[in-house]
């Protein structure tokens, strides 16, 4: 596989779940990974695991719902590294469980600010460095709920349908600069997302049948090591057996 040594990768939602696995995967290929999430203690733990495996990372405790904090992160990456080769917009929240007509406005806003506005602001902050370099990868983590209806999860589903539209449009804007923009849409992944699974033998069996975070990380690694003349624009990742 291509060596990512010397490259800067920024991964949002790197504190746990898919983002942590993606960060470990990119660091294992040699990238210096900027780990972004709110919980600094959890980010420190991921950084420790990367160090232990001989990789490089720095942490950035950022609330992605804050446009100012994202702008400051962009400036910091410009000052410290003056490059950004890979951006993985992975952070996301669910707030699933109510029909839309009972969904509080705060839940709608939190969902859209995290799942759709933050990827826009991260791209706005970091894509200029990719355009200058005439290379780069932006990978947005969507969901199969961004292709299918999700009753009692309309805001989440709509935010992911929106993220798909953003991805396809930005891919067309940036391909002329050698920047490749892709979306990964996984089915159920075994993480704490939406509160995680209850404990018990049947839940453990279901969790084992789900997609594992490392499976998503493998797809990210595949996308960022594609030969420069082509790119995988979309991956639908399904569990082999329905959980
Ligand atoms: N798990 C699934 O079944 C599944 C399926 C399809 C798609 N996905 C998508 O995959 C992505 C990752 O999901 P996951 O399962 O790994 O979820 P997770 O375990 O709940 O992790 C979510 C990550 O996002 C970060 N985050 C949330 N809000 C944030 C904010 N305002 N600012 C900064 N960071 C924030 C969290 O860190 P902090 O709390 O420390 O900020 C955490 O690191 C999401 O976009 C999700 O929609 C998940």
Q: What pLDDT, on a 0 to 100 scale, did the predictor assign at position 178?
A: 98
Q: Residue 242 falls within a domain, yes or no? A: no
Q: Residue 2 falls within a domain, yes or no? A: no
DSSP 8-state symbol, 102? G
CATH of the domain at 111: 3.40.50.720
Distances (CA, A) of 187 to 72, 90, 145, 238: 33, 14, 8, 5
Q: How far apart (Å, rounded) are the C-alpha atoms in residues 107 and 169?
A: 26
For 57, the enclosing helix (H) or strand (E) is: strand 56-61
Atom of ligand 1 nearest to the CA of 213: 16
Q: Residue 243 falls within a domain, yes or no? A: no
Q: Residue 150 falls within a domain, yes or no? A: yes
Per-residue pLDDT of the chain (243 residues; tens, 9 = 90+): 569 999 999 999 999 999 999 999 999 999 999 999 999 999 999 999 999 999 999 999 999 999 999 999 999 999 999 999 999 999 999 999 999 999 999 999 999 999 999 999 999 999 999 999 999 999 999 999 999 999 999 999 999 999 999 999 999 999 999 999 999 999 999 999 977 666 788 889 999 999 999 999 999 999 999 999 999 999 999 999 988
Number of domains the chain contains: 1
Q: What pLDDT, on a 0 to 100 scale, did the predictor assign at position 197?
A: 63
The answer to whether the beta carbons of residues 66 and 111 sit under 8 Å apart is no
Number of Cβ atoms within 10 Å of the Cβ of 41 = 9
Cα–ligand 1 centroid distance for 118 (angstroms): 12
Q: What pLDDT, on a 0 to 100 scale, did the predictor assign at position 196?
A: 66
The answer to whether the beta carbons of residues 178 and 134 sit under 8 Å apart is yes
Regarding pTM above 0.85, the answer is yes
Mapped onto helix, strand or coil, the DSSP state of residue 8 is strand
Q: Residue 137 falls within a domain, yes or no? A: yes
Q: Which residue's CA lies nearest to atom 48 of ligand 1?
A: 189
Cα–ligand 1 centroid distance for 205 (angstroms): 23
Q: Residue 63 falls within a domain, yes or no? A: yes
Provide long-range contacts, Cβ within 8 A and 24+ apart, for 212-215: 212/21, 213/17, 213/18, 213/20, 213/21, 213/22, 213/189, 214/21, 214/25, 215/186, 215/189
Domain that holds residue 137: 8-237
Q: What pLDDT, on a 0 to 100 scale, did the predictor assign at position 220?
A: 98
Q: What pLDDT, on a 0 to 100 scale, did the predictor assign at position 207?
A: 93
Residues within a 6 A CB radius of ligand 1? 13-19, 37-39, 42, 62-65, 90-93, 114, 141, 143, 186, 188-189, 191-193
Atom of ligand 1 nearest to the CA of 17: 16
Q: Residue 56 falls within a domain, yes or no? A: yes
Cα–ligand 1 centroid distance for 13 (angstroms): 5
Q: Residue 114 falls within a domain, yes or no? A: yes
Does 168 qualify as catalytic in the annotation?
no
Q: Which residue's CA lies nearest to atom 36 of ligand 1?
A: 13
Backbone angles phi, psi at 6, to 5 degrees: 90, -10
């Amino acid at each position: 596989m291509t060596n990512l040594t010397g490259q800067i990768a920024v991964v949002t939602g790197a504190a746990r779940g898919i983002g942590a696995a993606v960060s470990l995967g990119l660091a294992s290929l040699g990238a210096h990974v900027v780990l972004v999430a709110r919980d600094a203690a959890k980010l420190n733990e991921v950084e420790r695991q990367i160090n232990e495996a001989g990789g490089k990372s720095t942490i950035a405790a950022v609330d992605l719902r804050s446009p100012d904090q994202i702008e400051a992160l962009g400036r910091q990456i410009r000052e410290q590294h003056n490059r950004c080769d890979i951006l993985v917009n992975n952070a996301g929240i669910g707030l699933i469980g109510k029909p839309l007509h009972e969904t509080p406005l705060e839940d709608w806003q939190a969902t859209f600010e995290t799942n759709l506005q933050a990827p826009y602001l991260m791209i706005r902050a970091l894509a200029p460095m990719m355009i200058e370099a005439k290379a780069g990868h932006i990978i947005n983590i969507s969901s199969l709920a961004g292709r299918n209806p999700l009753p009692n999860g309309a805001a989440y589903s709509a935010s992911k349908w929106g993220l798909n539209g953003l991805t396809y449009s930005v891919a067309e804007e940036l391909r002329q600069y050698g920047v490749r923009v892709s979306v990964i849409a996984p089915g159920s992944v075994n993480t704490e997302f939406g509160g995680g699974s209850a404990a018990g033998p049947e839940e453990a069996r279901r969790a084992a049948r789900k997609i594992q975070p490392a499976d998503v990380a493998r797809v990210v690694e595949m996308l960022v090591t594609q030969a420069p003349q082509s790119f995988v624009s979309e991956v639908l990742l399904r569990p082999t057996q329905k959980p």
